[in-house]
Amino acid sequence: MLSRVAKRAFSSTVANPYKVTVLGAGGGIGQPLSLLLKLNHKVTDLRLYDLKGAKGVATDLSHIPTNSVVKGFTPEEPDGLSNALKDTDMVLIPAGVPRKPGMTRDDLFAINASIVRDLAAAAAESAPNAAILVISNPVNSTVPIVAQVLKSKGVYNPKKLFGVTTLDSIRAARFISEVEHTDPTQERVNVIGGHSGITIIPLISQTNHKLMSDDKRQELIHRIQFGGDEVVKAKNGAGSATLSMAHAGAKFANAVLSGFKGERDIIEPSFVDSPLFKSEGIEFFASPVTLGPDGIEKIHPIGEISSEEEEMLQKCKETLKKNIEKGVNFVASK
Ligand code: NAD
Ligand code: LMR
């Protein structure tokens, strides 16, 4: 017999039955991300797909006594990918290759663009209403790829397509706390633009640390922009950030599900189809967004920024425009 408290707790979890699919679940990010999703009580149906390893990861996670059913899917079984996606509420895509030292994220385009395009096409067929969270790099180009594919299938909903840039904000919070000797859990840094090098713009002028010396601030900005390289170098050929990324991906996924649930004031940064610089031909831009039952409820403006940040923004826009066009042209040319 369940106690009254236990019964109430159980019914509150099953009241929000979200189906979530991870494409690339056997990989460096996919595995810990799937673990964190298995621990999320908003998820009741967790589907893991990968070219290899998804069944093993799913069986392993299925022994954890949380309120979700986990199932692994492979391309070898009939309709493996479409069954993984069928009527799911959210699709997370960390499928694709990671960087090795000396590579830029853009160098991954040659392999990852077609992986993401094909997975987006499958999602369009089997889960046309799902939120799609793109992790695979280069995010500045893979998100426009997904948008083009969904448009070509007539199911594009800009409110439900997200490039996951959460890792930039969590790095910014951590790194600023290290130089300012503060509590990292209390730091919030608004990071806008895109997800690669100079397109990543941490708005230090909007924090409580605007009086930092120029040298210290410039070093901090550089570290946030190139934090990914720090991990790639330390892993020395074995890939890029996976564990911090899994945390970032699970945090963002939880925010999207909280929005679906109708929780209020859920605000996270994300690289989205944005009106902010559309007049300059920049279709996608990362800035804080409010999440609601239908996905994006509001895209927040960037607010007041310093002249240094204004200069960074100009450079960011030049690169971002090219990255976005590259993704759009890739789909158009096929
Ligand atoms: P990984 O190589 O460890 O894992 C990738 C997984 O994708 C593998 O298991 C592989 O089998 C799978 N895969 C490849 N093609 C597939 C397909 N067509 N269908 C299903 N699965 C497929 O790589 P990783 O370290 O997990 O990184 C994955 C991607 O995430 C990379 O592109 C990396 O650059 C990117 N990344 C993004 C961020 C971010 O902030 N957005 C952070 C870190 C890494
Ligand atoms: C990151 O920021 O860590 C990821 O985009 C992976 C990478 O290639 O740096």
Helix (H), strand (E), coil (C) string for 116-183: HHHHHHHHHHHCCCCEEEECCCCHHHHHHHHHHHHHHCCCCCHHHEEECCHHHHHHHHHHHHHHHCCC
Give 120's pLDDT tier (boundaries 50, 70, 90): very high
| Residue 195 designated active-site | yes
Start-to-end CA span in the chain (Å): 59
User: How many CB atoms lie under 10 A from the CB of residue 189?
Assistant: 23
- The residues, ordered by sequence, that sit 6+ positions from 280 with a Cβ below 8 Å of its Cβ are 317, 321
Ligand 1 neighbours (beta carbon < 6 A): 23-24, 26-30, 49-52, 94-99, 108, 112, 115, 119, 135-137, 139, 164, 167, 195, 239-242, 245
Angle (deg, nearest 10), helices 166-180 and 243-261: 120
Give the mean pLDDT of 35-56: 98
Lowest mean pLDDT among 5-14, 24-33, 304-313, 315-324: 5-14
How does pLDDT run across 253-283, given as a tens digit for each residue? Answer: 999 999 999 999 999 999 999 999 999 999 9
Annotated active-site residue in 41, 63, 181, 195: 195
Give the integer Cα–Cα distance in Å for 87 and 30. 20
How does pLDDT run across 126-136, given as a tens digit for each residue? Answer: 999 999 999 99
Give the integer Cα–Cα distance in Å for 167 and 305. 22
In ligand 1, the atom with minimum distance to the C-alpha of 29 is 26
Residue whose structure tokens are 């605007």: 210
Give the integer Cα–Cα distance in Å for 85 and 87. 6
